[in-house]
Amino acid sequence: MSKIGKITVKDRDTVSSLQDFLKLLLQKGAVEAVLVQQRLAINNAVMPALITDIENLGQADPLAPAFALNGARMLSRLTRKPLDAPIAAVMRPCEIRAFVELVKLKQGSVDNVILISADCLGAYPNNDYAKVAGMGAGAESTLSFYRNIISGKGTAAQDADISPACKSCEHPAAVNADITIGLLGTNMEENLLLIANTPKGEKLLADLGVKVEDEPLDGRKSALDALVGERIEYRDRMFARTSEAVSSVEKLMGYLRACVNCHNCRVACPVCYCRECVFTTDVFDHEPAQYLRWAKRRGALKMPTDTVFFHLTRLAHMSAACIGCGQCSNACPNDVPVMELFRTVAHGVQGAFGYGAGASLEDEPPLSVFHEKEFCEVTGGHD
Amino acid sequence: METKTGRALVIGAGISGIRSALDLAEMNYRVYLIDKSPHIGGILSQLDYQFPTDHCGMCKMLPTIGRDASSQFCLRKGLFHENIEVLPGTEMIALEGEPGNFKATLDSAPTFIDPEKCIGCGLCSAPCPVSLPDTFNGGLAKRKAVHLPVPHNIPNRYTIDMAACTRCGECEKVCPTGAIDLKTEARRAFKILVVDDELVVRDSLKEWLVVEGFSVDMADSGAEAIDLVSANEYGLVLLDVKMPGMDGVEALQIIREMKPDLPVLMMTAYATVETAVQAMKIGAAEYLMKPFDIEALNAKVVQQYESTVAVKGRVIEVGAVIMATGSDFCDPAKIPGAFGYDYPNVVTGLQFERIVSGSGPGAGKLVRPSDGKPARKIAFLQCVGSRDLKQKADYCSSVCCMFSIKEALLAKAKSGGEADTAIFYMDMRTFGKDFQRYRDSAEKESGVRFIRSRIHTVEPDIDGRLSLHYVDGEGAMVEEIFDLVVLAAGQRASKGARELARSAGVELNPAGFCRTDELFQSKSSREGVFAGGAISGLKDISESVIQAGSASLEASRLIRSKGGTSRPPEPKGALFKDSSRDLPRLAVALCACASSLAGGLDLEALGAALSRWDPSIRVLQTERVCTLAGKKSLLDSLRDTGCNMISIGACMPCLYGKMLLDLARETGLSPGLMDVVDIYTPAFGRGGQAEARVQTAMKMSIERLKGADPAPGRSFNIIRKALVIGGGISGLTAALAIADHGFKVDLVEKEADPGGLVRAIGSTIEGVATSGVLGRLVSGVRANSNISLHTGAEVVGSKAYQGLSFLTTIKTGDGETKQIDHGVTILATGGKEAATREYGFGQSGSVVTQHELEGRLGNGGAVGLGVVAMIQCVGSREEGRNYCSRICCQTALKNALRIKKDNPEAKVYIFYRDIMTYGFLDAYYTKARQEGVIFIRYSRDAKPEVTIGEGGKVTIVTRDPILGRDIAIEPDLLVLGTGLAPNDLGRLGEYFGFEVNEDGFFREAEYKWQPVDSKKRGVFACGVAHSPRSISESIAMAQAAAQRALVMLNRDVVEAGSVVARVRHGLCSLCERCISACPYGARSRNEENDRIEIDELACQGCGACAAVCPNSASVVRGFGDRQVMAMVDAALELI
Amino acid sequence: MQCGTCTGSCGSAARMEHTPRQLWRMVQAGMKDEIFKSRTFWLCSSCYYCTLRCPRGLPLTDTMAALKRVAVAEGYTTDRKSAPFYKAFLDSVRKYGRVRESEMMARYFLAVKNPAVPLSFVPLGMKLMARGKMDLHMPGFGGRGKLDRLYRKVMELEAAK
Amino acid sequence: MRYFYYPGCSLQHSAKEYDISTRALMRLLGHELMEVDDWTCCGASAADTSSRLLSIALPARNLALAQKSGVSADILVPCSSCYLNLRRAEDAMSRESGTADLVNRALSEESLSYSGGARVRHLLDVLANDMGAGPIAAGLRHSLSGLSVVPYYGCQALRPFADFDDPERPRSMDALIAATGASVFDWNMGAKCCGAGLMTTKKELCLDLVADILDDAKGADCIATVCPMCQMNLETSQKRISKMRGRPLEISIVYLPQLLGFSLGLPEAGLRLGLNLALTRSFTGRLAAMSKQIAAPGR
């Protein structure tokens, strides 16, 4: 049973109460720095920052429904070599899961890192968030987001809604963070839960002097189940739609027609960890004569070339590690529904291997384990 | 002493022969590898699946360093190594001279199809009117008289079964290359004299023989026969035994005196068989029984005829001979008695393998031979023709238990788990490494039923099914109906063993196997002639491979001692021009005969199309490029082109391994810049697409060559010294073997005296005192100036450097540390008798281990013992130590027999689970029972209960499974067979980079094919450190390990293959996936410079790393991304 | 080897208290009393199937005979019929050199002392008699004690062994 | 050919017809039988229960008698049990020198001795291998065409000495029966045990064994035997067995020489079918009909 502590919310200001908790981390010297979303002075934009000064935590807004980029890549940069001192990273569940994948790919380490994650009720696509948050309104937009949810108004606001990735996300709570900040199953305008999922998390709460108890979490569980249920329903409709949309090579080409080979999706993808993508190497520096030959063969050659190949390759490489954060779609300048395609394929791939990307550090990635008797129907024999 | 390149003859090209030949070839000896059959591979050419992986894996025996010297394709298909001359269809008929200087006479079977001309097209087979049972498929299918002996061989040449051939000549007519010559003239010239007093017999024989194409004379009496023989040249005489006047035997005697080389076949009625047998003793070749079975008669006559037209008398000079003709299976249908083995749905294990083989008669479907219906209930009967005194087979065939378990699992797999499989056995002999766990998992996880009952008779049921009666565990008679019954047909000495023994001048044991030294099992009775593999006894693949290694080691040692050297490795690389800086200029040669075979492919059009595809290439038209003439004409036309790459479009690319190397030597181009493309197969079938497919194949080849990397593999330094850890029997043997080859050896032993486990053993079960051999080895080691023996010492650290180079630190007895540099390491750390707390051990002086008993018996301890009980498998073959220690059953029998000998009145009870007297050891089990030792079985779930009473009095209560009730025994002495446990390997694995299995034994690279190698290059293991084994088995393994080490030590440098992986560090994200994907442990992360590094010697170029790497930071030489993509593009061009 | 072939081949095994395999085990274990209290070995009809089939070539049928012999010699009488029958037979032979079936059966019936036994053979006797196959006369040759000397000597030699 | 003839006790009494038909058949086929002078019982299965030595000595006495006559000929034995005992004695006498010594000491009481070398042959062996089907086919008088004959061999002619036939799937009677024109009934019980001497002491068991045999022979016209014990066991309890099994299992049982003799035209005096205990009415009827048809000789 998890150890549960509480943050009492003062003045129904969830954001500043959470800031106070994060300040405590630095005050008590539990960590040297905190990686967390903070609100920038200009344009009311929200971006991750590595904060060492307590004062700067006054701008921290981990609950903002903004998701500029997947922070797992930032954290991987911080932890590729051993850290001298502990840091805390406050991230969304999908960021935590991406980070778990990166750790398994030796792109980061959990040593000296405390992972903190608040229940995630979704985030807006980047363009929409600017609209929703307005200019200069500070954290008020964050508080109103949650008020709307509590009052049953939902997440839609000003012609915008949280992204399809969030709507189809079945992991609103990070079970593999050291500390989960619980919004569900409690009245978040009065109390936030501090759930220690790991010995590391328990130790932190103890160090901070947070009073903990073995409280049953029935209310939280039913709230979570309800939310996940909704999302799975949405997800499965999305899968069905997408599967149909790409059910043949021709349809797939149509699905990806708007791709301009900008590779933004790859850059935004937290688990696409290659230092340099093979599509940017000389392998794809085709001989000029080659284009003409291809064109002759078919009568017409779609330009740019290698777009479908690019997405298929990325699917081949990364669908086993895809954690479904949706940053690919977020990054696409031409609104190619990349996330939908990836999630649909990833669901099949991960299901086939009985693997859940980001679920646990212990599960070996499918491609790194070898089972003698696996996929007989594919390998064409008993062996 | 004159030195010359050592040569060796290896007889038998099965698994053992191939191992021995490769061993010696890798040592740079010249090797002749001969086999009676027209193909290599032996029995394994028929087996697709092998324990423990249920795959093949024979290719793992190919050289792992200096790989480019050998072909790199499936060993079941063919073998090419530059130092090996493979001579199929060849027998040794005489061996003269001295060890080191033998002259071996070889006869080759007559070739009715010229292998140089046969291209394996198969046109000859279609019109052949003869249909007979296909031996390759165990008679389950039919084949023609002109046939492929093994369907998957490379090169695959047809042969004619002359005994079945009707000489209709149809095949001769259709052969496109004129390869077939039935030699009808030779047959007519072969004159046969028929001698019989009965006119009817003479006439009918003459009629048959003339039809068969022979010339026949007749004589009606012995006297007339002698006149005719003196006046004419006959090829053969058929001589009646019983004739008035001079009888057959008398006539034979005279004929023998006149013409000793003239073969005579005796003809006899049933009544005079004994006379005919007598006649064979005075030189008759064979006898035939009247009334004649025409086919049998014909076969024998043809056999004689063929031996006269055989290519005779090639004499080769060799220093040593290795006999590796393996063993055969008995034919259950020929076992006298009504066992019901002749129903159509009763098959042998081998036939079963063919049934489930993809190249078998049913394309691998699990069906019954009688009607092709699925076989869903399958019984496996063990010990058919083994452990059967009536068959004069007082031995265990050693391999069948595992064979049957594997087949039962195959049946499960092939049927999707649906098939019910039951193995009927007496003792399940899972005595090898990991056998027991395999069996357990077959039983528990796959649901194979194990029923301890010997089935006597298979009875027919309705609808082709079979009924078996057996006594079940409760002692009740049960009848069960099966679809298919599979017989574990016992092993027999190989069919030609007797003739071979005669021509090689070696002795056989009573079972017909080669008689060997009791401890040095590769030594035959003739110096210089060695036994490799199953010819020396009953052996599975792993043991055969070890035994073959032992034989090649001994052969090498002998050749060397007689002044033969290993040829120094030829400098490679320098031979070939470095064209890496030249622009690629590619020639394409298209062979016309491939096109004519494929039905008139338009090569001009093809050439034009290729020129359009890449105008820079040069197209040459050629023909019969696979022949010497064709090669020469190709060379001529190549000469002026200035091309530095060539792609040859022809048939059967695999044929070209050796030719490409020749071509390379003559042109100076690297073989890596040549390619042979099969344009024959793609031209077949499917209508108008033929041209397109051939074009595609050629274009792919062109693209492949354009991207090829011709640089030879890198060479690495090797320190030509060995470290042997452990000074027991294995370590001593290995150290001496290496030192005798002139290399320095450091031998590290942790005890003050060498000898290890063997010191606790007085003698072997065969009665050989161990002190003798141990003494000889120890004094040999001490006297050998190449060996530094460090006693009381242990390894405290080691570091590996690039190439084959280790620096190892040892701490000697007096606390000093020493550093030893060496290139190879042999682990021979041995084991110990396992400790136990079970069955009251330690609570009573009457409870002892087998070793303790052995000590007592040595001092007359048997006298005064009334009742002795022994419990086997103490703490073993169950989780904890779930393996068979292999030696405990024989130790128990040895000690029990000793007790019975010293004190016949003593009663000895042995409580056992399965008696593991594999091979010839089974005779001791027989003997023990004859001597009155009583064997009582118990099961893992119901062990004997031992209570220790007052004064240490021992009582054993156990349930006798036969009587079905408890029995109690109060022995004076309870002896526990606790088995062997490995010595603690400490950090050695870490130091030398090998793995240890869950039981603490060394983990070999591959159980069957690389039993003494570790995955780490240059690190080997032998003896009990590897797995429990007897003294002779340890010695053989030590020799095999030394052999593997010598292959490396014998080189100035070690060459990696040219196809190896490479890392593009600039692209690498250090995700380390390639490290876990590499099956050879060739990759590691260098923590100092944060790079992935490749051990090029370990890398075998398999490409797993390149496949797992997402951005081609890991690449395999010769398989670049652009190159492969260009090939893919070429492949898709015309689709 | 305890493979069970003997039991599996035995036509009488189903009616034996101990199967042949068990019997051999009991012999090994020296369970003499129990063996001779059972009728197992008396059920052996000497069909020699077990001998034929035993993979170890053991003379099993002969061993059964040996058990019968020991049983007779040591006076085990579990089987009330067998021993008297064979004794009657041999006595008849001793006396006449050849078996006189009628006299032999009479001796046997007397020995088993069970009136039901002879009655069960009445139908057969009647049939045989009807066809003149029962020789009710004294034998035409031989005389008393035809093989006395041979028997005596054999017993003597047997005892001396 | 000349053979010593050892009829054995049964053939004197209960198996008279076997003795008579054997002698008649052999004479008809032109062979001479010399009855061993003063022969005595072979000990049957009884001697072995008393003394192994006796079980060897009794048959060895007869071998000694044959040897004493000075004639060299095989010893023909129609009774399987006698055959086995004589054969076994021969085997023991020539292979175990100790036994041979003791036995000869016993035999010396009657001034007899046996030095080994006798060839003990079962009647079936002689019929199948020395004569073969040829003479039968050649001399056929009454074709048995239409008759289905079951070859039943029993145990002791075949086992443990597999001298002349496969001990589990015997075939030697096939050609002989076929030569008479009859068809050979295809079954698997030819070498199974009838219970032999157990009929006296272990009747229940024995009836079971016989019942199995009769059950499998159902559909045939008669069973041909080559052993008095088998014959008697198969003959005597057919009614009881039919009741036991709840179906009619009556079938005619004849000795092989009777069958062969009949087909060669031997009169009843040489066959004595009248002495058989189990002949069905229909069978005797068919034989009677056949005896009126004369086959073309020399087929």
What's the number of domains chain D is made of?
2
Mapping DSSP to helix (H, G, I), strand (E, B) and coil, where does residue C112 land? Answer: helix
Q: Which residue of B has its CA nearest to A103?
A: B1071
Q: Give residue D299's pLDDT.
A: 38
Residues of D in contact with B337 (CB under 8 A): 166-168
Residues of D in contact with C61 (CB under 8 A): 160
Q: Give residue A382's pLDDT.
A: 47
C75 contacts chain B (CB < 8 A): no
* Planar angle of CA C66, C67, C70, nearest 5 degrees: 85
Residues of B in contact with D191 (CB under 8 A): 338
**DSSP annotation string for B946-964:** EEE-GGG-EEEEEEETTTT
Do residue D70 and residue D145 come from a single domain? Answer: no
Q: Which two three-digit tokens encode residue B384?
A: 């058919």
A/B touch flag: 3 or more CB pairs below 8 Å = yes
Do residue D117 and residue D144 come from a single domain? Answer: no
Q: What is the distance, to the nearest Å, from the Cα of residue B963 to the centroid of all Cα atoms in its chain? A: 43
Q: Which residue of D has its CA nearest to B338?
A: D168
Contacts by residues B285-291 (CB-CB < 8 Å, ≥ 24 positions apart): B287/B241, B288/B238, B290/B201
Q: Which residue of B has its CA nearest to C52?
A: B337
- Around C82, how many Cα atoms within 13 Å sit in the side-chain half-sphere? 29
Residues of B in contact with A318 (CB under 8 A): 1110
Residue D25 belongs to some domain of the structure:
yes
Which residues neighbour B154 within 8 Å (Cβ) at sequence distance 6 or greater?
B73, B74, B77, B78, B652, B654, B655
D167 contacts chain B (CB < 8 A): yes
**Which among D98, D123, D148 is the end of a domain?**
D123
Closest to B46 in 3D by CA, of B415, B356, B384? B356
Residue D297 belongs to some domain of the structure:
no
**DSSP annotation string for C95-110:** HHSS--HHHHHHHHHH
In angstroms, the separation between the Cα of residue A105 and the nearest Cα of chain B is 5
Do residue D22 and residue D87 come from a single domain? Answer: yes
Residues of C in contact with D63 (CB under 8 A): none
Do residue D148 and residue D51 come from a single domain? Answer: no
Q: Which two three-digit tokens encode residue B86?
A: 């493979």
* Domain encompassing residue D158: 132-291
Q: Which residues pair with D34 in a beta bridge?
A: D4
Which residues 306-365 of chain B have a CB within 8 Å of chain D? 336-338
Query: Of the candidates C5, C14, C26, which has its C-beta nearest B454's C-beta?
Result: C5
Which residues neighbour A303 within 8 Å (Cβ) at sequence distance 6 or greater?
none
Q: Which two three-digit tokens encode residue D83?
A: 């055959």
pTM metric for this prediction: 0.78
In angstroms, the separation between the Cα of residue A305 and the nearest Cα of chain B is 14
Domain ranges of chain A: 3-233, 246-379
**pLDDT tens per residue, range D217-240:** 988 999 999 999 899 899 888 988
Strands B934-937 and B1002-1003 come out as: unpaired
Query: Of the candidates B53, B55, B1111, which has its C-beta nearest A278's C-beta?
Result: B1111
Average confidence (pLDDT) over A201-224: 86
Selected for mutation to probe chain C from D37, D155, D188, D201 (highest C CB count within 10 Å) is: D201
Residue D298 belongs to some domain of the structure:
no
Q: Which residues pair with B97 in a beta bridge?
A: B102
Q: In the 8-state DSSP scheme, what is residue D96?
A: -
Contacts by residues B212-217 (CB-CB < 8 Å, ≥ 24 positions apart): B212/B167, B212/B187, B212/B298, B212/B301, B212/B302, B213/B167, B213/B184, B213/B187, B213/B188, B214/B187, B214/B188, B214/B190, B214/B301, B214/B305, B215/B188, B215/B189, B215/B190, B215/B191, B216/B191, B216/B192, B217/B191, B217/B192, B217/B193
**pLDDT tens per residue, range B255-288:** 888 888 888 888 876 556 677 778 887 888 888 7
Q: Give residue B324's pLDDT.
A: 95
* Binary contact (B337, D167; C-beta < 8 A): yes
Q: Give residue B455's pLDDT.
A: 86
* b (16+ CB within 10 A) / e for D279-291: beeebeebbeebe
B873 φ/ψ angles, rounded to the nearest 5 degrees: 60, 35
D/C touch flag: 3 or more CB pairs below 8 Å = yes
- Report whether B890 contacts B928 (CB < 8 A): no
Do residue D143 and residue D73 come from a single domain? Answer: no
* Binary contact (B337, D168; C-beta < 8 A): yes
Mapping DSSP to helix (H, G, I), strand (E, B) and coil, where does residue B479 land? Answer: strand
Domains in chain C, CATH or no CATH each: 1-78 (1.10.1060.10), 81-161 (no CATH)
Question: How far is B730 from D26, CA to CA, in rounded Å?
Answer: 74
- Report whether A338 contacts A332 (CB < 8 A): yes
Neighbours of B565 (CB within 10 A): 14
Residues of C in contact with B388 (CB under 8 A): 55-56
Do residue D176 and residue D283 come from a single domain? Answer: yes
Helices marked H in B162-313? 170-174, 184-189, 199-211, 222-231, 248-258, 273-281, 294-309
Which residues 75-114 of chain D have a CB within 8 Å of chain B? none
D162 φ/ψ angles, rounded to the nearest 5 degrees: -85, 65
Instruction: Calculate the CA dihedral of residues C102, C108, C113, C117 and round it to 10 degrees.
Output: -70
The residue ranges of DSSP E strands in B111-164, in sequence order, are 132-133, 142-143, 146-147, 159-160
H/E run at residue A196: strand A191-196
B/D touch flag: 3 or more CB pairs below 8 Å = yes
Q: Which residue has the tokens 């008279």?
A: D16
Q: Give residue B15's pLDDT.
A: 92
* Binary contact (D169, B459; C-beta < 8 A): no
**pLDDT tens per residue, range B942-967:** 999 999 998 889 999 998 888 888 88
Residue D97 belongs to some domain of the structure:
yes
The residue ranges of DSSP E strands in B668-717, in sequence order, are 674-678, 715-717
Do residue D152 and residue D286 come from a single domain? Answer: yes
Residue D296 belongs to some domain of the structure:
no
Q: How many CB pairs under 8 A join B and D?
A: 12
C-alpha distance from residue C64 to each of B276, B932, D98 (Å): 40, 18, 22
In angstroms, the separation between the Cα of residue B986 and the nearest Cα of chain A is 27
* Binary contact (D14, C149; C-beta < 8 A): no
H/E run at residue D57: helix D52-68
In angstroms, the separation between the Cα of residue C130 and the nearest Cα of chain D is 9
* Binary contact (D193, C147; C-beta < 8 A): no
Residues of D in contact with C124 (CB under 8 A): 236
Q: Which residue of C has its CA nearest to B477?
A: C8
Is the predicted pLDDT of residue C141 greater than 60, yes or no? no
Residues of C in contact with B389 (CB under 8 A): 55-57
Query: Of the candidates B338, B457, B459, which has its C-beta nearest D166's C-beta?
Result: B338
Question: How far is B855 from B770, CA to CA, in rounded Å?
Answer: 14
Do residue D119 and residue D137 come from a single domain? Answer: no
Chains contacting C (3 or more CB pairs within 8 Å): B, D
* Binary contact (A281, B1112; C-beta < 8 A): yes
Residue scoring higher pLDDT (B201 or A211): A211
How many helices (H) and strands (E) are present in chain A, helices listed first? Answer: 15, 7
Top mean-pLDDT range of A230-239, C67-76, C139-148, D150-159: A230-239
Residue D141 belongs to some domain of the structure:
yes
Q: In the 8-state DSSP scheme, what is residue B367?
A: B
Strands A179-182 and A113-118 come out as: parallel
Neighbours of B930 (CB within 10 A): 12
Three-state SS for B1040-1108 is HHHHHHHHHHCCCEEECCCCCEEECCCCCCCCCHHHHHCCCCCEEEECCCCEEEECCCCCCCCCHHHHH
Residues of C in contact with D168 (CB under 8 A): 52
Mapping DSSP to helix (H, G, I), strand (E, B) and coil, where does residue A10 land? Answer: coil
B1079 contacts chain D (CB < 8 A): no
Residues of D in contact with C86 (CB under 8 A): 45-46, 49-50
Do residue D111 and residue D145 come from a single domain? Answer: no
Lowest mean pLDDT among A32-41, B542-551, C91-100, D177-186: C91-100
Chains contacting D (3 or more CB pairs within 8 Å): B, C
C29 contacts chain B (CB < 8 A): yes
Do residue D139 and residue D286 come from a single domain? Answer: yes
Residue scoring higher pLDDT (D17 or B1098): D17
Chains contacting B (3 or more CB pairs within 8 Å): A, C, D
* Binary contact (D168, B336; C-beta < 8 A): no
Do residue D192 and residue D267 come from a single domain? Answer: yes
Residues of C in contact with B967 (CB under 8 A): 29
D/A touch flag: 3 or more CB pairs below 8 Å = no
- Around B813, how many Cα atoms within 13 Å sit in the side-chain half-sphere? 10
**pLDDT tens per residue, range B873-890:** 999 999 889 999 999 999
Neighbours of C47 (CB within 10 A): 27
Q: Give residue A96's pLDDT.
A: 96
Quote the longest CA-to-CA distance of chain D.
59
Residue scoring higher pLDDT (A187 or B601): A187
* Binary contact (C151, D54; C-beta < 8 A): yes
Which residues neighbour B441 within 8 Å (Cβ) at sequence distance 6 or greater?
none
CATH number at residue D225: 3.40.50.11810
H/E run at residue B90: strand B90-98
Do residue D117 and residue D140 come from a single domain? Answer: no
Is the predicted pLDDT of residue C113 greater than 80, yes or no? no
What residues in chain B have per-residue pLDDT under 70? 1-4, 154-155, 269-273, 290-291, 337-338, 566-576, 579-580, 594-600, 654-655, 684-688, 1135
